[in-house]
């Protein structure tokens, strides 16, 4: 009985010590791993987020860029990191819901991470060259149906969000089109602006500078509601395709097994950011919308997106292996 009591007392002591350790977090710098090189949109979102968390958590949050393998290198690094709250991931929809279905990866996007909060979202816009014979989505569909297998659309590459979004729409609208994949969004949009390819389903931030200068015409957006950046442009759903919606996002995730107290502390700090006008303005300036949802909401979104994008990848036949 004495031994049993000592064992029980030891468990209580270890739990108390663990609780104290979690309460003291953070005691040193935190690393926020980014799956792309410095200078892109995800990197910018990460730095805005790191600056906010540094001020709120009273410890430096350092951005660590680990590009490669379509973001899988960074994702795998975080998935295998010690779950102590000192290594976080600036996760994106592609790494967490598309790449695992395009190529072999060592991480499981659902099991190997603890979702914290989706910080920002970005919807997509179907942009056409001004010379293209369609000012609305129904007109575009009518034109393509009248010219089956003759009209091309650009994408940022096979299996990219731009490719899969357009592929899903092509299937939904029962169209026959030519896919013209590029090595990234920049050359794709350059050729659409130049008139070499008539259309591109790109994220709003990409096409906005060309839309405002009348070098591209936006015929639809992919969000659940019209984009504030594109007044007067209806969504795909509003133009005859109810339920059609896609978006990409950037969110903070931790390795699976990270204590709930730490996850919630970060999430609470980001929830505060979501209510902060200055934080939202910084994100808006780079073309994304602030969200900062809860860990539970992020987890549900992650499951839903894996279902959506895995089906899209399978249907498109895209592969990077």
Q: Do 65 and 138 share a structural domain? A: no
Together in a domain, 213 and 151 = yes
* Residues 100 and 138 placed together within one structural domain of the fold: no
Instruction: Band the pLDDT of 22: cuts 50, 70, 90.
Output: low
Average pLDDT over the chain reads 93
User: Is 7 a member of any domain?
Assistant: no
153, 88: one domain: no
Whether residues 212 and 303 share a domain: the answer is no
5 has pLDDT over 90: no
Q: Are residues 111 and 127 in the same domain?
A: no
129 pLDDT above the threshold of 80: yes
Residue 9: inside a domain: no
Q: Is there a contact between 163 and 248 (Cβ–Cβ < 8 Å)?
A: no
**CA-based nearest residue to 170, from 214, 198, 140:** 140
Give the residue from 239, 257, 272 where a domain finishes: 239
* pLDDT at res. 187: 97
Whether 251 is covered by a domain: the verdict is: yes
Which pLDDT value is given to residue 13? 47
CATH value at residue 296 = 3.40.190.150
Distance (Å, rounded) from C-alpha 149 to C-alpha 211? 27
Q: Are strands 113-128 and 87-92 parallel, antiparallel or unpaired?
A: unpaired
| pLDDT-above-70 percentage for the chain | 93
Q: Would the pLDDT of 15 be above 90?
A: no
Q: In the beta sheet, which residues pair with residue 104?
A: none
pLDDT tens, 263-320? 999 999 999 999 999 999 999 999 899 999 999 999 999 999 999 999 999 999 998 8
Nearest to 179 by CA among 195, 156, 202, 209: 156
Say if residue 2's pLDDT is above 60. Answer: no
- CA-nearest of 140, 115, 114 to 127 is 140
Q: Is 0.85 topped by the overall pTM?
A: yes
Encode 61-76: b = buried (16+ Cβ within 10 Å), e = exposed.
Answer: bebbbbeebbbbbbbb
pLDDT at 8 over 50: no
Q: In this structure, is residue 16 part of a structural domain? A: no
> Would residue 88 count as lying in a domain?
yes
Q: pLDDT: is 91 or 8 the higher one?
A: 91
pLDDT at residue 100 greater than cutoff 70: yes
The answer on 255 and 118 residing in a single domain is: yes
Last residue of a domain, one of 189, 220, 239: 239
Q: What is the CATH number of the domain that holds 212?
A: 3.40.190.10
**21 domain-assigned:** no
Q: How many domains does the chain have?
A: 2
Task: Note whether 214 and 157 are same-domain residues.
Answer: yes
- pLDDT, position 6: 47
* Residues 94 and 86: beta-carbon distance below 8 Å: no
What pLDDT, on a 0 to 100 scale, did the predictor assign at position 23? 64
Q: Which of the listed residues 239, 266, 290 is the one where a domain comes to its end?
A: 239
Residue 251 has pLDDT above 60, yes or no: yes
- Pairing type for strands 247-255 and 87-92 reads antiparallel
What is the predicted pLDDT for the residue at 321?
A: 74
**Residue 4 is assigned to a structural domain of this protein:** no
- 300 and 198 share one domain: no
For residues 135 and 61, membership in a common domain is answered with no
In terms of residue numbers, what domain contains 32? 28-122+247-316
Q: Indicate whether 3 belongs to any domain.
A: no
Q: Do residues 200 and 60 both lie within one domain?
A: no
SS (H, E, C) the chain: CHHHHHHHHHHHHHHHHHHHHHHHCCCCCEEEEECCCCCCHHHHHHHHHHHHHHHHHCCCEEEEECCCHHHHHHHHHHHCCCCCCCEEEEEEHHHHHHHHHHCCCCCCCCCCEEEEEEEEEEEEEEEECCCCCCCCHHHHHHHHHHCCCCCEEEECCCCCHHHHHHHHHHHHHCCCCEEEECCCHHHHHHHHHCCCCCEEEEEHHHHHHHHHCCCCEEEEECCCCCCCCCCCCCECHHHCCCCCCCEEEEEEEEECCCCHHHHHHHHHHHHHHHCCHHHHHHHHCCCCEECCCCHHHHHHHHHHHHHHHHHHHHHHCCCCC
Instruction: Tell me the pLDDT tens digit for each residue of 190-211.
Output: 999 999 999 999 999 899 999 9
Average pLDDT rounded to a whole number, residues 166-190: 97
217 lies in the same domain as 277 = no
């Amino acid at each position: 009985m004495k031994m049993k009591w000592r064992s029980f007392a030891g468990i209580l002591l270890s739990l108390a010590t663990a609780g104290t350790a979690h309460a003291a977090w953070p005691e040193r710098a935190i690393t926020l791993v980014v799956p792309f090189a410095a200078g892109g949109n995800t990197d910018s979102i990460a730095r805005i987020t790191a600056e906010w968390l540094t001020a709120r958590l009273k410890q430096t949050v350092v951005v660590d860029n680990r590009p490669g393998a379509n973001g899988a290198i960074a994702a795998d690094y975080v998935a295998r990191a010690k779950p102590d709250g000192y290594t976080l991931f600036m996760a994106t929809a592609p790494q967490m819901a598309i790449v695992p279905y395009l190529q072999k990866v060592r991480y499981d996007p659902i099991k190997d991470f603890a979702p914290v909060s989706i910080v920002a979202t970005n919807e997509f816009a179907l942009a056409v060259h001004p010379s293209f014979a369609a000012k609305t989505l129904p007109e575009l569909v009518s034109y393509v149906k009248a010219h089956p297998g003759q009209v091309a659309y650009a994408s940022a590459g096979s299996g990219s969000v731009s490719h899969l979004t357009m592929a899903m729409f092509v299937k939904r609208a029962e169209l026959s089109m030519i896919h013209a994949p590029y090595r990234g969004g920049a050359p794709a949009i350059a050729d659409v602006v130049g008139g070499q390819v008539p259309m591109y389903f790109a994220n709003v931030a990409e096409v906005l500078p060309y839309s405002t200068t009348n070098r591209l015409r936006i015929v639809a957006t992919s969000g659940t509601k019209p984009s504030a950046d594109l007044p007067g442009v209806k969504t795909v759903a509003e133009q005859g395709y109810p339920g059609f919606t896609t978006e990409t996002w950037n969110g903070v995730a931790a390795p699976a097994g990270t204590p709930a107290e730490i996850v919630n502390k970060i999430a609470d700090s980001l929830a505060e950011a979501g209510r902060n006008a200055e934080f939202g303005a910084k994100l808006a300036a780079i073309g994304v919308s602030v969200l900062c949802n809860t860990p539970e909401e992020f987890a549900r979104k992650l499951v839903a997106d894996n279902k959506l994008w895995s089906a899209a990848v399978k249907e498109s036949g895209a592969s990077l292996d």
